[in-house]
Structure formats: structure tokens, C-alpha cells
Amino acid sequence: MSKSPVQGSAGQAEHADPAEKSDEKKKVLQEGVILLQRYDRKSSCFQLRLCNKKLANLSFTVDISKSVNLELRAPPGKGTSHSCNVEVPPGLEVELCQIAQVDPKKGYTLSATYSWVPKPADRKLVQQQTAEEVKRRHDIVANLKTCNIVPSKFDSAAKIEEACSKRGISQFVDAEFFPDDTALFNQPQSQDNPCVVWKRPSEFCDKGEIRVFSDSITPCDIHQGALGDCWYLAALAALAEQPQLIRELFSSDKHSSLGVYEVSCFKNGQLTKVIVDDLIPCSPSTGKPCYAHVNVEGEGQTVNELWVALLEKAWAKLHGSYEQIEGGIPCFGFMSSAVFSKPSDA
């Protein structure tokens, strides 16, 4: 895994065009740094937004001083009529500025310079802040191992829930895919690895009921995040055209208070049941999932759905780490998820 695509590197880009009012444009400035430009007819101005798919804050600057008959409207305290600087948290899409004509009766040309600098989280500080919780998880795993409750010893998540209930265990942590850098990277000891924290849905979901999926499952639910596994997510998006196929990937559609789930995958032509916990990689800056998750841009029922993050985690576990699932061909991802689906009665 290249640390530049994940964590980000400084960069600069230039852009010049007549900025047609009908245009809605998307420009990839760097892998994971995506500029969105659209014309808002209500306010009669162009809107610039930045989608940051890195695992680091980006200090992003827009400069339109070379533009003709255009002025920049920055958020309060963020800039001047010709430039602005905005901090964009990892995994989020943020409005940078608006650009409007100075004289509506005259023509205009947009000539902009964009520059950005990543600001990764302080690894030592994050480790200090999470040390107590990490120790607690290790204690949970030690207890589970003593009771011989590890996924490879059980053929279903339901049996793990039953075993934990008998022993008064209230939370499950997967001892065979422990939530730390070994589950994320091929070289977990490298100091170049971006900083990630692990959280349960109760810690990162909005208020309301936590669900595996809502009544409506659509391809638009899927938000990629910072990991380069679009090939796999493209396959899931195709599968989501038939929501029942997504539901059939899970042994249960109920949220597990214990935090254990069972997912079906195909690997090397073999149907494989993968059991995972619900600890999800999150950004230390936002506390939200930094890899694949249900799209939270549209506020509402989909905010607390887990199916995307859990499927990605199961696929990562099956391959040894999240890094191992970067780069691939969508048809292989489709076969890994769809082959086992029940045949039609027709």
C-alpha cells in the first residue's frame, strides 16, 4: 500500500476554462483529492467543494487571482476576495468557497491554482489516548481464548453468541483478526503507516437505531473512503441493484449487541463463511469510518447501516489485511459475493 494515496502528499494544480454555467465538473487533483465544481443558479455563483479521501487533514488553498471578472467568497475568516484556505478533515466532503462574477454584464474566465498540504494525526498522541481501550480489548481476547471462543472453532456467529451468553461475555473481539495495524498493513511496524483508530458502531453512528441495513439498499449507499478497493465496492454496487442478494450475504439481518457477524464469500471457488467483530477502522480526526461505509452525506435512515463496512472487513480478513484488498478487477469481486446467491425459482 502506497502511503501517499492513503495519508496524502503535498501537491499543486492549475485550472483554467470559461466555466460554463451548465457545467458540473469533477477533477481528480491527486489520488484521493477530488475537486467538485458546480454552478448554483439560486445564488448565481460557482461552488467549489473538496472530497478528501486521505487519512489526514488537508490544508487546502484556492487562488483565483488570475481570473477575469470573478471574485471569491470564502467562509468567514478563511480568505480574501482572491484566495482562501480551508482545513478538510479526512473522509469528508467540504465546501471550499463560492466564486461569483464581479460584473454580471461582462464575460469571465476562471483561472485557479490549488495547493494542499496533508497534516497527519500525531501517532504517539493517538496511541496514548487509546492505550486504555486497546488494553481492554486485549483482556477481552485473553478471556475469549481461555474459553476457546475464537471464530475458527465455531461454524456460525450464532454459536459464538450462545457461547458468550453462557459465560457472561458481553463483547466479542476477533482474536484471529485483532483490530490493530496487523489487520491493516502488510508491514504493521512501519512508522509510515497512517494513524487509524478502531471503533464500534455505538461510538461512531449517529443517534438512533443501529442496523445492518435499512429497508432500502441501493448502490448509492456505498462510500469508498481512503482504501483503494473500488474494484470490490464496484462489485457490491452491482450486487446492490438486487437488494435481496446483499441480504443473503449475512446470516442474520439483526444488529448484534455482542458485536459478531457472519458473512458469506467465495474465495478460489469455495463458499467461505467469515466471522468478524464490529470494530471498524476510523479516522482519529473525525471518529468516523475512514474506509468503506454507508454513505452518510444524505441525512436519514441510511446513516447507521453497517453492511458496507462489515462486508469490506470480512473480505479483508479473508485476504489477511485491508492492504491486501487494494487493487483488483470488479468481476472477481462480483464473483466473490454473488456466486453463492440462491438460484432463481424461475
Give the active site residues. 230
- Please say whether the beta carbons of 221 and 308 come within 8 A: yes
Distance (Å, rounded) from C-alpha 294 to C-alpha 95?
21
Contacts with 311 (C-beta within 8 Å, 6 or more apart), sequence order:
236, 249, 263, 292, 337
Roughly what angle, to the nearest 10 degrees, separates helices 307-319 and 330-338? 100
Distance from C-alpha of 100 to C-alpha of 320, rounded to nearest angstrom: 50
Alpha-carbon distance of 213 to 309, in angstroms, equals 11
CA angle (135, 139, 143) in 5-degree steps: 170
Strands 83-88 and 293-294: unpaired
